[in-house]
Amino acid sequence: MEKNYICPICGAKVIDIEAHMLQAHPEEVARQEKEMLHEMARQQREAMHEMRRMQPGIYEELLKELEKEESREIKKICAKEYLSMNEVEKAAKIFMEIVDDGDAEVYNGLGICYRRMGKYEEALKFFKKAIEYGEIETAVANICDIYEQQQAFVEEEEFLSKLIKQHENGYLYALYARILTMVGKYKFAEEIARKAIEMKEGDGYIYLAFSLILQKREEEAEEILKEFNEKYPDRMHSYILLANIYMEKDVEKAEKYLDMLHERASEPEILDYLIKSFLSIGKMEKAEEVIKEAIKMHNMPQYHLLYGIILLMKGGNEEKEFEAFLESFPSKDSYVKIIEIYLDGEKTDKAWKYLKKAEILYGSDEMLKCMRGHILFEEGNIDEAMEAYEASNSIKENIDAHVGIIKCCMKAGKIDAAIKACRKALNVTEDEGLKKDLEDLIKQLEG
């Protein structure tokens, strides 16, 4: 006797449930298959991440084997994994193998790879291709970041202006409001941000407040940000802006918003902001509390550096934290950071200690010669400092050494030599702000 099945969708009695579902309810079958595939992918990702954590060597061998598979989906997974491990060139190689299929996710992946390699023109091309194939928000955010990194604000404004004519997208309007604010078009930015809000884009509130703050309309900005908090209680940017509004003019209010942010967030970038902000308003105990939490939660090298600075200010054992920083992030630049911290703290004995360690490990290049000059200058040994700066320039001409020479000449009362050093420095730097300062100093010395 044949068995009848009851269809869970329409209640019909059928003999072959699979055939009935495919014929009568294809959309539901497709939906269930999609859910199953998503769940399988999720479980696969979890298993891979656990293997990466527990057995990194075996995991890398597994990826090498998987990337040989013909399946583009498996290749895509491998590329993403390499990207998450910062194996950028391996990720780019795999993405390039499957790029011809016009997959926006692949173009985005290539854009991220080339951005991390510092090849910004290629990255921009790939992100723009991703937009062509339908992926807008991630690609556009990356493009804007690249333009801002290159200080190409006019290009970013033009890019977004054209794009919002093609796509009615609230997030694009919010980004457009941001760049308009950055280039000083506050009223236009305000108008565009309000359009983003009308399109239910939360970031519109943030960039509206941003433009209002820069127009000195802090009370209006505060009301906008409070409205944002009510609508999006889990988002943290508003608390940062609110704290920034009051950082200089009302420390108690700034502290209140920093405390609210501290209660709600534990991401590394938020903790970084909290540490620096509490320090800037003189709340060292709170900064120390946050940094201890950060070390426990994330144990990232910069937290040891920041904690070392706090301990130095308090007269504690900062070297323990600086050594932890160097152990996690051993490099010449790390030593230079520590030397600069000691110079700021007027601890030249400690600055010498870390300079000598760096010279043993890395030799004495133009950077370390320049640091030697800084320490000698702080100690009042002007002639020796001048020699160190000149030695730095003889290895490789650099603006820091030129500025050091200017300071030495001025300290020694050698005005003509200082003017000559300023003119040399002008030929070395591309920093427009520094060029103006040097030109102003020449006028002052000549006057």
Give 335-372 pLDDT, tens digit per residue. 999 999 999 999 999 999 999 999 999 998 999 999 99
CATH class of residue range 364-447 = mainly alpha
The answer, yes or no, to whether residue 93 has pLDDT greater than 90, is no
- How buried is 222 (Cβ within 10 angstroms: 0-12 exposed, 13-18 middle, 19+ buried)? buried
SS3 for 5? strand
Q: What is the DSSP letter of 396?
A: S
> Cβ distance 109 to 80 under 8 Å?
yes
- How buried is 367 (Cβ within 10 angstroms: 0-12 exposed, 13-18 middle, 19+ buried)? buried
The answer, yes or no, to whether residue 24 has pLDDT greater than 80, is no
Please tell me the distance from the alpha carbon of residue 76 to that of residue 263, in angstroms, as a whole number: 38
List the structure tokens of 126.
């790939």
For 400-422, how does the pLDDT look when each residue is reduced to its tens digit (9 = 90+)? 999 999 999 999 999 999 999 99
For 187-233, how does the pLDDT look when each residue is reduced to its tens digit (9 = 90+)? 999 999 999 999 999 999 999 998 998 898 988 998 999 899 888 88
The answer to which of 30-44, 282-296, 405-419 has the lowest mean pLDDT is 30-44
The answer, yes or no, to whether residue 296 has pLDDT greater than 70, is yes
Q: What is the pLDDT of residue 98?
A: 80
Q: What is the DSSP letter of 236?
A: -
The answer, yes or no, to whether residue 164 has pLDDT greater than 60, is yes
| 415 CA to centre of own chain | 43
398 Cβ neighbours under 8 A, 6+ residues apart: 366, 367, 370, 392, 428
The answer, yes or no, to whether residue 436 has pLDDT greater than 50, is yes
411 Cβ neighbours under 8 A, 6+ residues apart: 377, 382
The answer, yes or no, to whether residue 426 has pLDDT greater than 80, is yes
Q: What is the pLDDT of residue 65?
A: 61
Confidence class of residue 239 from pLDDT cuts 50, 70 and 90? confident
Q: What is the pLDDT of residue 335?
A: 94
Please tell me the distance from the alpha carbon of residue 358 to that of residue 230, in angstroms, as a whole number: 52
